[in-house]
Amino acid sequence: MITAEQKPLKEIIEYISPYDRILLVGCNECVTVCAAGGRKEVGLLASALNLHSLKQGRTIDIKEITLERQCDPEYVEELVSEIDRADAILSMACGCGVQTIAERYKEKPVFPAVNTKFMGASQSQGIWVERCQGCGDCLLGITGGICPVARCSKHLLNGPCGGTSDGKCEIAPDVDCAWCLIWERLKALGMEKRYEEIMEAKDFRPAGGGGPRKIIREDLSL
């Protein structure tokens, strides 16, 4: 999923300070799972913003809505009935959600309330780790199911570098060396020989080097 973290309150407050009526929009998908921008976080942020404005002796009108999915125009359409009563929109979705709203409601300013972080998996409750960089040309089939693009600090396709020690990356003792993991996994699978095959220089076009990426499924488009 896409992971996110709430922005510092100070930054959020700066964005919305000129406005009296805020439409605070959460999203029921990824940001709900990583507890950054779901219904619950929308409520908490609204409360904090209320406390802030009351302290300053003013009231703001915060309307809380959590959409099923903010990155889909169909769901973003649901804001139509609320939009006229808002001076600004504060979105707690990932960057995709923020932009979907901005594109639909061009006359209202939209501000992000979270920083979108990475595509990650849940390691344990409350801990999310980066697992994919969306390079558009998945290598997991030849790297034992461990991604060197996302998990090696240097994105080396022919690792490990000389900086690994005890299976850890040189950048921090709590970061696993992706290539040590790959090697262990290849060994366990009896695929050691694969290690000596040189992985050729990566074509970065599918990774975004060719400009903004797009998927067109003609069988699905109307």
Residue in 116, 134, 91, 101 with CA at minimum distance from that of residue 34: 116
Backbone angles phi, psi at 188, to 5 degrees: -60, -30
Q: How far is the CB of 106 from another protein (least distance, A)?
A: 29
What is the spatial distance between Cα 164 and Cα 170, in angstroms, rounded to a whole number?
A: 6
Q: Is residue 171 involved in binding another protein (CB under 8 A)?
A: yes
* Residue ranges in 137-166 that form contacts with another protein under rule CB under 8 A: 153-166
Among 15, 75, 118, 195, binds another protein (CB under 8 A): 195
Question: Are 149 and 133 contacting, i.e. CB atoms less than 8 angstroms apart?
Answer: yes
Among 1, 33, 48, 142, binds another protein (CB under 8 A): 48
Choices 68-76, 97-105, 128-136, 196-204 (CB under 8 A): range interacting with another protein:
196-204
Q: How far is the CB of 42 from another protein (least distance, A)?
A: 10
Question: Are 65 and 73 contacting, i.e. CB atoms less than 8 angstroms apart?
Answer: no
**The two three-digit tokens of residue 143, written as one number:** 């790297």
Angle in degrees, CA 14, 117, 72, rounded to 5: 85
Which residues contact another protein (rule: CB under 8 A)? 8-10, 40, 43-44, 47-48, 50-52, 54-55, 57, 59, 153-167, 170-171, 177, 180, 183, 195-196, 198-202, 204
